[in-house]
Amino acid sequence: MKKVVTGNYAVSWGARLARAQVIAAYPITPQTSIIEKLATFCADGEMEARFIKVESEHSAMAACIGASAAGARAFTATSGQGLLLMHEVVHWAAGARLPIVMGVVNRAIGPGWNIWTDQNDTLSQRDTGWLQFYCETNQEVLDTTIQAVKIAETVFLPAMVVLDAFLLSHTSEPVDIPDQAEVDAFLPPYRPELKLDLDDPRAFGALVLPSDYMEMRYKIQKAMERAVGVAEAVDHEWGERFGRSWGLVERYRLDDAEIALVTSGTVTGTSRVVVDELRDKGLKIGLLKVRMFRPFPHEKVRQALAGIEKVAVIDRNISFGDSGVFAQEVRAALYRADKRPPVFDFVTGLGGRDIVPATIREIVDYTVAHDAPVEEFTWIGVKK
C-alpha cells in the first residue's frame, strides 16, 4: 500500500508492522505525532500493544526496560531534551542487553530553546551501547524501524532510528507500507534467552564486582562488532523480500571521484542534487552516506574512500572544543588506511538552519580551493 505520510507516521507504521507489544512514551515536539498515531492504532484495536502513559522520558525508558526484561517487544520515541532526560536509563537498556527500539527525531539542544533539527541529541548518546541509524527519507525510516527490531533482537542491543526534525518528521512523502503478513515472515516474534519469569525466577541488575564487570563490557563490544554483519544481512534479506535495501553506508557516484562528500540524514538527498549538478560541470565528485553510525562501519568507510583525493564531511552537530562528530569518526577510520586523504570538516545547519544546495556548493568550493584543511573544521553559514 503506497501512501503519502510524514516521517513520524512512518516510524509509527514501522512499530505497528513490527508488532511492538509495549509502547511507553512521553510527548515532545517534534516527536509527538509518532506516539499520537501509535496511541490511535492501539485505541482502534489495529495494534495489539499495551500503551503506557508515563510522566517523563526517564520513566518511558524505564517502562520499556521492564517490558523488554519480561520478554515483550518494547518501543518508544523521543527527541532532544527528552532523550537527554532519559540518558541514565539509555545506558541501562544497553547494559542489560535489552533490544528496545526507539525512534528519535533529531532536535537541537537548549538553550537557546529550539525545536528544529541537529544531531547533538543523538550523538551525545554515542557511547551508550545503542545501535544508531540515520535516515534520509520516510521510506528508509519505515524500513529501518522494522529492520532495527530484527537486528537488535539478534545481537541483544537496543537501537535508535534517527530522523531529522521537520525535514522528515513533518514532511509527507510517498511511502510503500508493506503488508503485515510479509513483515511477519521477515520478523519472527521476540524470543529472549532469559527473561523475568515467575516460573523460572532469576535476579537481574545485581552488583557486579571488578572481577566480572569488564567481561560484561567486552560482551557488549563483541555484540556491537557482530552487529555490523547482522545489520548487513538483515538489510540484504529486506532487499530480497521488499525490493529495497539501504546499506550500512551508500556510495553515490564515487567510482571515479576525486572529492567525496560524507553525509548523514536528509543532507544526503540535497547533496545528491548538488553532486549531479557538479558532475554535469565536469567535477569528479561523489558522496558517501553514513546510515549506520553505531557500530561505526570503519572497514566500509575505508573501502569507500580508498583512492579519494579529498574528503569533505558535512556535520550537523558540534563536539565543543573539537570538531564535528562524523569527521572525528571518519578521520579515525581512515587512520588505518594505506593512503590517507585530507579530511575537511564543515559544521553547518545547527538548530535547524536550512542546508540548501548553495550551502553544499560553498563546502565543495572550499574543498576544491584548498589542498588540505587549514583548521580543524570550518564553519559554514555562521554569523561571526
Interface residues with another protein (CB under 8 A)? 2, 4, 115-116, 164-168, 170-174, 266-267, 269-270, 272-273, 352, 354-357
In contact, 249 and 292? CB cutoff 8 Å: yes
- Judged by CB, which is closer to another protein: 1, or 203? 1
- Judged by CB, which is closer to another protein: 3, or 217? 3
- Judged by CB, which is closer to another protein: 78, or 266? 266
- Judged by CB, which is closer to another protein: 166, or 344? 166
Exposure on the CB side of residue 311, measured as CA atoms within 13 A: 27
- Judged by CB, which is closer to another protein: 14, or 352? 352
The angle formed by the CA atoms of residues 245, 352 and 75, to the nearest 5 degrees, is: 50
Task: Give the position of cell 580543524.
Answer: 376
Q: How far is the CB of 288 from another protein (least distance, A)?
A: 16
Q: How far is the CB of 178 from another protein (least distance, A)?
A: 18
Q: How far is the CB of 370 from another protein (least distance, A)?
A: 26
In contact, 134 and 162? CB cutoff 8 Å: yes
- Judged by CB, which is closer to another protein: 80, or 352? 352
Q: How far is the CB of 170 from another protein (least distance, A)?
A: 6
Euclidean distance between CA atoms 164 and 117, whole angstroms: 6
284 closest CA partner among 312, 255, 262: 255
Q: How far is the CB of 267 from another protein (least distance, A)?
A: 8
Kindly provide the residue ranges of all beta strands, DSSP E only, lying in the chain, ordered along the sequence. Answer: 2-6, 22-25, 50-53, 74-79, 101-106, 131-134, 159-164, 172-176, 249-252, 259-263, 285-290, 292-294, 310-315, 343-347, 378-379
Task: Give the position of cell 570538531.
Answer: 323
The angle formed by the CA atoms of residues 276, 277 and 280, to the nearest 5 degrees, is: 85
Q: How far is the CB of 21 from another protein (least distance, A)?
A: 29
Euclidean distance between CA atoms 240 and 251, whole angstroms: 20
